[in-house]
Chains A and B, each alone.
Chain A
Amino acid sequence: MAKKTYDLLFKLLLIGDSGVGKTCVLFRFSDDAFNTTFISTIGIDFKIKTVELQGKKIKLQIWDTAGQERFHTITTSYYRGAMGIMLVYDITNAKSFENISKWLRNIDEHANEDVERMLLGNKCDMEDKRVVPKAKGEQISREHGIRFFETSAKANINIEKAFLTLAEDILRKTPVKEPNSENVDISSGGGVTGWKSKCC
């Protein structure tokens, strides 16, 4: 009977334009709930959730970033150290989809080279307002060789699946090590950011 709370710690990051639903995606996954009022994330937030994959308990530490353009230079500095990045757009917002290539460039420039990427087309419950066809999302993800899901935080579509798939992809690349609590890196378990002031 496995009693250890977790064997591995994965740090994931949510990025994408403001208003595409990053916070809602995270809230759905961590608390299985949805909030309709829009509160713009002004900063960096994170939550944890423990999942089990291939008999291993994996603690996911998921960072939610501010999407507003004026914060981009700062938010990119949080990319470092992330093992997986979820790039979210809104299927009812063409601009958010057009910006995908810009976000992908950001990842190339600022994230670890071996970071697992994933594209999410969120708000797929709002079919009547859709402006980005699913095929376009599939096409761009094919071009960049990354996974793609259409999700809805509101209707709880594909949220869990997306996170588990991303975690699985990371796990596949993780060298097999005996689960040992002493080896689990928890130094970053409590919100250590990508950079920190030196003068304290």
Chain B
Amino acid sequence: MDQSFAVQETLSAGETCLAISFRKGVNVNARRLHTVQGILAAEEGMESRLLSLVESHGKSMICLYTHRRMAITAEDVGLDRVLLIQEGFAVEEVTLEDGLQIPGSDVTVQITSGGTSLLVQLPFGSHTQMFLREVRKRCGPGHKDATAVDSEWSTSGEVKAAPRPKTARETVHLSHVPASEWTQDLPTQLCGQRDGLLQSWLKQKEDSYTNLQSFRFFVGTYNVNGQSPREGLQPWLSQEEEPPDVYCVGFQELDLSKEAFFFNDTPKEEEWFKAVTKSLHPGARYAKVKLVRMVGILLLLYVRTELAMNISEVEAETVGTGIMGRMGNKGGVAIRFQLHNTTVCVLNTHLAAHPEEYERRNQEVQDICARMQFHQLEPGHPLLAINGHDVVLWLGDLNYRLEEQDTEQVKKLVQARDFQVLHQHDQLKIQMDAKLVFEGFQEGEISFQPTYKYNPGSDDWDDSEKCCVPAWCDRILWRGKTVSQLGYRSHMALKNSDHKPVSAVFDIGVKVVDEKCYRKAFEETVRSLDKMENASIPSVTLSKTEFLFKDVKYLQLQVESFTICNGPVPCQFEFINKPNEDSYCKPWMTAKPREGFLLPDSKVVIELELFVNKSTATALNSGEDKLEDILVLHLDRGKDYFLSVSGNYLPSCFGCPIQTLCYMKEPIREMLPEAIRELTLMPLLTDDAFWDEKPLDIPKELWMLVDHLYRNACQQEDLFQQPGLRPEFEQICDWLDTGTLDVLGPVGSNHSVAEALLLFLESLPEPVVCYKLYRSSLECANSYKMSSQVISVLPKCHQNVFRYLVAFLRELLKHSGKNHLDVNILASIFGGLLLCPPPGHTKPGTVEKQKAQQFIQQFLCQEESTV
């Protein structure tokens, strides 16, 4: 029974805490409260206390309570002292001077807080380990867990001055820990999986690194009928010549008093424990590993002291099957442990009495098997059931009787020592043969007379009024491949009780680890794990890692594609940004798709698109930027692949500044790269006196376009309003970039040439009306005089271009009857091209656009003479 309930009841509402119940198999939320029973070393000797980890109003503390043997309600406990978990608080495990360190035995800790120092002995097992772990969590530097709880409680904790009303419902409610709350705390890490895998593999290979070594087990059961030990137990416990290695000694009906039943409190425990300890085989020294008791059912486990180091993972549990199917007058207690690498579970059960109740007894065995579950020390490990052990030893007063009801007949058979015939009537044998109980268990041949029921103090059959039929109530069964029974007998010499004790001696093959072989198996397993992990790193093959884009032209898309072939591991791929860059590639490149998911052995085609537009053309013309880049294709949790992109860009008049073009007397493609670079990087001059050579008035490419339109398209319907054709645009570009003035114009349609003119103006890195004059141009858009002034401060070449274009547009307007153009249309088209907001400026709104249109309109409407 969990004594946390009793402590919980003493706490006020502000200190609302959740108790822990290990028995229920609910995962514990130990953040709030954890209680263990400990023995406090006091001046007057040892005293028992309940230690509780309590969290109250953001503070953690250990509260020590005095208590009745088994505390059930708040009245059973009294607060003794409080140790605050604060600075200077420490919990240290200590070794007592005379104490033999036995794994599985109690833990002694020294708790220091604010000048107080206490020595406390805590029972071995997961309960104590959990308690200490939770305490350490709160006093270590990693205290953040506790602070998280603080805030949680300070918001929800309502301080109540009045004592908390004690209702059973509330207690039940409080013990209900939502499972989700716990699971959040569990580390869900990959390495956890790796550990689990490692352990499973090692378990699988166990045969390769363990040798079976035989250990002698003594198993005894004795129903003592509530008596105290009045005679030595040597005739039962140490009759063998050879001292056993392990003692499993069980008692039933240790104490028949009401106190024992209701409070699970009995002085007999100590008496029988001492009696057993005194009577163990004198040929060896023994250490107690564990004692577990539920009401009158007691189980003791001893090992030879030299074996103590090989005992581990000791846990004890109890299951009550008495009244309400829960109480402890009937049921079983169990100790599980590991000896070397073999897991052993020892059970002591006292099943329902009365001859006709054999079905109930069967049911109780099923219940115990289902409900007996052990916690494991490793957090997160599942509960362990009885059948999860290599060896199970089941002893106790199983209470199965003889079907033959005739007492005299039975006694006669006993007299004749015809146990074989008598055994045919044994309920346990009948039930086991019918596979209705203890499936998989074995029992040795019974060659002793029934152990029940005798007149106490004698070897005489019970002659009371009830006059029970003799029966083999006290039995020892086992399960396990490596178990062989050496002896199975009763001990008539003990006369204290109405039962006779029974004993069985076993040789049990135990898996003992060969360190050298274990190391080898461990190494191998780690190697395979590494191999597996390496194999699970996503990996792909790329059909191509180098991409060459030849003779890239302005506004002409080039596409290179490659295939990502995935290996056996599903993977997520992505082109990732390079260091100190905020994109995964240069602006003239796009990868489609940029990221994606690949199933095992699947493929995806990636297209790398290269497209040079207005924003990238200038730097490529000048050589400041090159068609060179490295893309990094990253696989999530995996490798990185580098893709090299290279190519050459054919310089074009598109994207060149007006001034640069004015200084280029020959087609741009015929110029040396250095010359283009020099001319492009030349600062914008306000007059052209600076340069040796006199520049052209306007770029020849502009003249070529306008002249062509002037001669062929003045009467073209819907000029500047119909789109051109892409192949024709490409031809026009080549004509502009390679052709000379004397070569006749393109064969393309007027619309294509008109569009090329617009694209040319759009591609200018500095618009005709320079960026820095953008604002003032808009401001004076309603004054022709002021607008003219703005134009007059433009650099010479820009001025020329402006005037040239205006003159051309006015010419077009003369033919508006044919080409359907009017001032509004032209002003709106060219306003947006000649006046552009500087980079970084917000996109022009309607008002700005109207002003730009207005600005151009003034020039288109003026008398010819004034332009």
Contact = CB atoms under 8 A, between A and B. Distances in A.
Interface of A: 1, 3-6, 30-31, 42-50, 57, 66, 70-71, 73-74, 77, 181-182, 184, 186, 189-200
Contacts of B576: 193, 195-197
Interface in B517-551: 518, 526, 529-531, 533-534, 537-538, 545
Contact of B634 (A66, A182, A189, A193): A193
Contact of A70 (B584, B595, B630): B630
Given A5-B526, A70-B644, A189-B191, 14 more contacts: A3-B198, A43-B642, A47-B537, A48-B530, A66-B642, A70-B630, A74-B578, A181-B189, A184-B191, A189-B190, A196-B576, A197-B576, A197-B634, A199-B582
Q: How large is the interface on B (under 10, 10 to 19, 20 to 34, 35 or more residues)?
A: 35 or more
Given A30-B530, A74-B578, A195-B579, A3 B639 contact: no
B579 A43 contact: no
A74 B642 contact: yes
B533 to A, nearest CB: 5
B195 A5 contact: yes
B586 to A, nearest CB: 14
A49 B530 contact: yes
A196 B595 CA distance: 13
A109 B633 CA distance: 25
Contacts of A45: 639
B582 A181 contact: no
A70 B513 CA distance: 55
A43 B526 contact: no
B249 interface: no
Given A46-B537, A195-B577, A3 B199 contact: yes
Contact of B640 (A3, A184, A189, A193): A193
Contacts of A186: 189-191
Contact of B533 (A48, A77, A194): A48
Contacts of B595: 200
A192 B574 CA distance: 13
Contacts of B192: 181
A1 B189 CA distance: 22
B194 interface: yes
Contacts of B149: none
Given A74-B579, A74-B632, A199-B577, A5 B642 contact: no
Contacts of A49: 530
Nearest to B529: A5
B840 interface: no
B187 interface: yes
Contacts of B438: none
Nearest to B634: A193
Contact of B191 (A5, A46, A73): A5
Nearest to A75: B642
A1 B531 CA distance: 23
A128 to B, nearest CB: 34
A189 B534 CA distance: 11
A150 B190 CA distance: 37
B580 to A, nearest CB: 8
Interface in B20-78: none
A70 B584 CA distance: 17
A195 B192 CA distance: 27
B530 A50 contact: yes
Contacts of A42: 545, 641-642
Mostly, the B contact residues are mixed
Nearest to B538: A191
B636 interface: yes
Interface in B159-201: 187, 189-192, 194-195, 198-199
A76 to B, nearest CB: 8
Contact of A197 (B187, B534, B584): B584
B199 A191 contact: no
Contact of B518 (A1, A74, A182): A1
A198 B582 contact: yes
B698 to A, nearest CB: 43
Interface in B563-582: 574-579, 582
28 contacts: A3-B198, A4-B195, A5-B194, A5-B195, A5-B526, A5-B529, A6-B191, A30-B530, A43-B632, A43-B640, A46-B639, A47-B537, A48-B534, A57-B526, A74-B630, A74-B632, A181-B187, A189-B191, A190-B190, A190-B638, A191-B538, A191-B638, A193-B634, A193-B640, A194-B579, A197-B634, A199-B577, A200-B595
A77 B577 contact: no
Contacts of A77: 578-579
B537 A191 contact: yes
Nearest to B583: A199
Interface string B633-651: 1111111111010000000
Contacts of B194: 5
B202 interface: yes
B642 A191 contact: no
A118 B586 CA distance: 36
Nearest to B198: A5
A181 to B, nearest CB: 6
B437 to A, nearest CB: 37
A194 to B, nearest CB: 8
Contacts of B634: 193, 196-197
Nearest to A43: B641
Contacts of B190: 186, 189-190
Interface string B765-799: 00000000000000000000000000000000000
A37 to B, nearest CB: 15
A62 to B, nearest CB: 10
A59 to B, nearest CB: 8
A191 B529 contact: no
Nearest to B194: A5
Contact of A44 (B202, B518, B534, B640): B640
A24 B579 CA distance: 28
Task: Find the residue from A6, A77, A191 having the highest chain B CB count within 10 A.
Answer: A191
Contact of A43 (B187, B199, B639): B639
Nearest to B192: A181
A198 B630 CA distance: 18
Nearest to B542: A42
Nearest to A47: B534
A30 B534 contact: yes
Interface in B641-678: 641-642, 644
Contacts of A191: 537-538, 635-639
A50 B537 CA distance: 15
Nearest to A3: B199
A184 B530 CA distance: 17
